Structure 1
């Protein structure tokens, strides 16, 4: 993945995305200033729209006629559905039963045909649809066009804050972290890109320590509240993470909940658990992070209303 690839992606998707600002956090530690990159403001409420728009923009006319297929637990599903609708392309989206209902409903609302499947079956079902219909698979992270699209976030951070010291980004399949790290390290060689993942789905941390991908079972990864961070990196994304991440830290589910409450009450941002993970690292693991001006990517805000209500209620109870 090159900087030119990411810049080309930025040109392709410019008309379809929100160029999200960097929000100053007056409530943060003045010794460690914090800015938030609110990808919650995107049309589908998450960063995934960037990669989806870039991937679909690269399809030829024959591929567009055949339609696209995606598999996802939520935000990639919504992104491909939205991008396909905007391009007049038929989309079939495969989603596991554990997906929050709000994400399934939102995907259908964009006009896609949603196929709900059992746990661990989404890729198999997606490939069956591809074979049956001759459609094009748009993977959630394991593709250069997806990585380049997500990398436009890093491009924007580097342009808006060339003196940033630390960029905190969530890690799951690795497309977002790969893209952001590729852009930031190319433009700002002194900045540190730190990956953050849930402790209950920290397969990437274990894999980086081992030097090769360590497989975790679906059941093990699904324990975390951060439903958008339950995937594992591919060989492609893992290679990027190994070479371009400065470090990776993990956060507990309780810390994720705490960060969601802080983002809502102090940052005025609704974040899903996955989107709050980088802020959780800032709030609870400062000693493990480099010092300096920090940007935390708030990657998505498609949270189940009942979960958000519970998180906010608990945070108030803890203050009493």
Structure 2
């Protein structure tokens, strides 16, 4: 914001900008194109840009589909904001899903209301469940995922996703994980007390 003020640059919010949200929505369009009868969609939920865009597309084409945001169980800003009925600040904690950490922005103009209207619910996963999702992605799917990319798998593997009446999609995105941390998680060393994220 200092650069906006001092140099006249334009601020494009990474999650609370209508064009960014619409761009994220193309993922939802691709899902419905590939699976016209999709019944459930899991989306990593941080500040809400990805979730609101994908949910808008899914609900616009498949209103009966259920869309769940998935986040870590500590410092889930959008969940706290939705429960309060307005954007709130939350304490940030270290997490394997660090890309989902942080607030949604108190002057949130678009993502909050879209998530409020379009998400059917929010599923929270623990650090151990996220680690299990990262391991599963690597060992069973050959994918290197950061914690935020693995939260959907974590929700599925932990049994926290309600049964689906048709095809279920979990969006996995993000491989930005420190190689050493990934190795420790894959090696089963992850424990909140023993491995620092």
Deviation at 1:165, TM superposition (A): 0.9
Counterpart residue number, 2:183: 309
Aligned to 1:240: 114
User: Take 1:133 and 1:211, find their aligned partners in 2: how far apart are those partners?
Assistant: 36
Matched, 1:225 2:85: no
Residue equivalent to 1:202: 76
RMSD: 1.6
1:1-320 alignment runs, 5 A limit: 127-216=1-90, 220-233=91-104, 234-286=108-160, 288-291=161-164, 292-314=166-188
Residue 240 of structure 1: how far off its partner (Å): 0.2
The secondary structure found in structure 2 opposite 1:208 is helix
What is the distance in 1 between the residues matched to 2:117 and 2:26?
19
* Counterpart Cα distance in 2 of 1:304 and 1:224: 13
Structure 1 unaligned spans of 5+ = 1-126
Q: Contact 1:181/1:244 (CA < 8 Å) preserved in 2? A: yes
2:81 & 2:7 partners in 1: Cα distance?
36
Distance 2:31 2:170 in 1: 10
| Superposition deviation, residue 207 in structure 1 | 2.3
**Which structure has the highest strand share of the two?**
1
| Contact residue 168 and residue 295 of structure 1 kept, 8 A | yes
The one-character-per-residue Cα deviations of 1:205-234 (angstroms, maximum 9, x if unpaired) are 232223222321xxx323222110013232
- Give the Å deviation of 1:290: 3.8
Deviation at 1:243, TM superposition (A): 0.4
- In terms of fraction of residues, the more helix-rich structure is 1
| Matched-pair contact (CA < 8 Å) for 1:174–1:232 | no
Q: Provide runs of 4+ in structure 1 moved above 3 Å.
A: none
Assess if the C-alpha contact under 8 Å between 1:205 and 1:249 holds in 2.
Answer: no
- Preserved contact between residue 77 and residue 102 of structure 2 (Cα < 8 Å): no
Given the superposition, is the C-alpha separation of residues 281 and 244 from structure 1 closer, same or farther in structure 2, using an over 3 Å criterion? Answer: same
Q: Give the direction of change, closer, same or farther, for the CA distance of 1:205–1:285 in structure 2 (3 Å limit).
A: farther
- 1:27-67 deviation per Cα after TM superposition (whole angstroms, max 9, x unaligned): xxxxxxxxxxxxxxxxxxxxxxxxxxxxxxxxxxxxxxxxx
Deviates more, 1:274-283 or 1:223-232: 223-232
Query: Is the 2:77–2:101 contact (alpha carbons within 8 Å) kept by the matching residues of 1?
Result: no
Q: Give how far 1:315 is off.
A: 6.9
- Cα separation, 1, equivalents of 2:58 and 2:92: 29
